[in-house]
Amino acid sequence: MRILSEREAACAATVEQLLVLHPSSWVSDILKPAGVSPSPTGVRANSVHLMALGEQENSEIRDSERGDLIKRVARRAYSDYLVSMNLAHLRSYREAYIRFDFPVTALVGPNGGGKSTVLGAAALIHEDVKPRQFFAKSGVYDKSMVNWRIEYEILEKQKPISRTASYPKSKWNRTAIKRRILTFGVARTLPATERKDLASFIGGAFKGFGETVLSQETIDAVESILGKEAQKYLLVSGNKKGDKQLYAARTTDGDAYSEFHFGAGEASVIRIVRDIEESPDGSLIVIEEIENGLHPIATRRLVEYLITVARRKSLQVIFTTHSNDALKPLPDEGVWACANGTLTQGKLDVNTLRTLTGEVNASFAIFVEDEFGERMALAAFREYSRLSGLSMLGVEVHQLGGAGTVRKLTIAHNENPSIAFKAMGIVDGDVPHEVDEQRHVYSFPGTGDPEIHVANAVASKLDSIAAKLALNLGLRTADQQRVADAVQTRLRTNRDPHLIFEQIGEDLDFLAGQAVANAFLTQWAQNYPEEVVALFENAVAVIPDHPGSLLEPLSDSAAQEPDAPAETVETGAASS
């Protein structure tokens, strides 16, 4: 076990004090899962993640579990499975392809982005689903449905088959497959008093035709998701057929209360879990807006349950969501973004999707590959705004998870006439084939990973800027030689460019890698204005009030160093 820092020890002591003062309150419920084991002497951290106050829990699904399920799908080790779909023509989609590489798939995107369209297309090819459930037609007002077409690749009883659903003129043509499918729409979170199917349960004389105790699997799952005891729940039949059902609960004192007095999220979770546990192995589960009525932590736990039960019962689950919490337990293979008639695999933050579709009030947007790209773009534009007099106000910078995605979504964003602001994409220097300057997709300087480019660029000027770099790192100017030595040593020994700043930080009293990266980016942007300006030079149609070319006037001043730091430089730095 590792020794906690002074800050973490203080946090742990505060947690311990709160637990002593409030052992049975909400404080205990929130803080105990943090895994804090403070001790009067020598405070240590458990192997469990120590959460700072306000920090959300991480997913409990292990990477190995996710990896096993991805491999199982790749091996086609399922009896029944929806492998892929091509939305050849469906609402805003044209030749939009989606693969279900993970048995639990989230469809994420803004309102009107097409999530429900994809969900409905997945359900449509199943015999138990009536087409009007997802694609109803209202006479002459829905003539656009003509020539809709969806193509499917499916495993049916372990055999790969192809199927098509089409709407050539007036009705759906489909060769539906026989597979059990459960659909949970947004109506599941309506208050029980507003649901017509429960009207017959209302009245003082109602007694019910039978009570069913929930299975132990259902009880365990509900307790895990809601964080409360679930032994009390019952399923009450409203008639002899048992086709009308209501949930109820009994307290330890023997009192009872019905679903009419449940929270909407509570009833929704119980119904979803119970129906899934009662379904046959290999079923398909589709859920609209999975987070409806749920706390963010309960949303994440519900998705974790879906992954666990998908593994245990060979199920396939597809759900729509606006929640980042629902995405946390999933791998990139299990997330598809729906926006502007395009489908993109990989985790995209919901706020990023709002920018992609123009739902935010921005002046312009910058799309990059990853977190370092986001930091580099911000540092570069901050310096560019200083040089050009442009404002930083309204600039949105988002990471999209890959060069191909940056190129694809930047172009789609700029070609959408309904979006009031433009975007530029910046990919890493090692993927020149993804650059398309005519459509505002550019690259960071260098021909490799931007981390190494920035590290080498700063290292080449350590003779003159080591003191400033030390100050940016929160150290003294007297530490400049130590900083220079750490940089040179790690550049010689580094094998993974993405780790270079973490490695430098380890040699400098374990500074955080993000802090080291920010310090290097500050010095890079200040000392290489020609590279900064070149990034934005041609984005005239993207950046409002673009100042035109700044490269020529910068040519004489590029070699000049920024103002010296206030603290006196005591010693020279090692040369690169």
Confidence at residue 194, expressed as pLDDT on a 0 to 100 scale: 73
Q: What is the domain count for the chain?
A: 4
R_g of the chain computed on alpha carbons? 29
CA angle 256, 257, 263 (to 5 degrees): 145
Tell me which residue of 548, 62, 538, 46 sits closest to 331, measured CA to CA: 62
Q: Can you give the residue range of the structural domain that contains 233?
A: 186-278
Say whether both 93 and 149 belong to one domain. Answer: yes
- For residue 553, which phi and psi values (nearest 5 degrees)? -65, -20
Encoded tokens for 349? 């933050």
Cα–Cα distance for residue pair 383/528, rounded to 1 Å: 10
Say whether both 395 and 535 belong to one domain. Answer: yes
In a domain, residue 110? The reply is yes
Indicate the residue among 342, 357, 387 that finishes a domain.
Answer: 342
In a domain, residue 173? The reply is yes
Where residue 147 sits, what CATH number does that domain have? 3.40.50.300
pTM (predicted TM-score): 0.69
Confidence at residue 563, expressed as pLDDT on a 0 to 100 scale: 42
Which parts of the chain register pLDDT below 70? 1-58, 242, 551-576
Indicate the residue among 342, 367, 393 that finishes a domain.
Answer: 342
Confidence at residue 312, expressed as pLDDT on a 0 to 100 scale: 97
Is the Cβ–Cβ distance between 372 and 357 less than 8 Å?
no
**Torsion angle defined by CA atoms of residues 267, 268, 274 and 280, in that order, rounded to the nearest 10 degrees:** 160
Cα–Cα distance for residue pair 571/105, rounded to 1 Å: 58
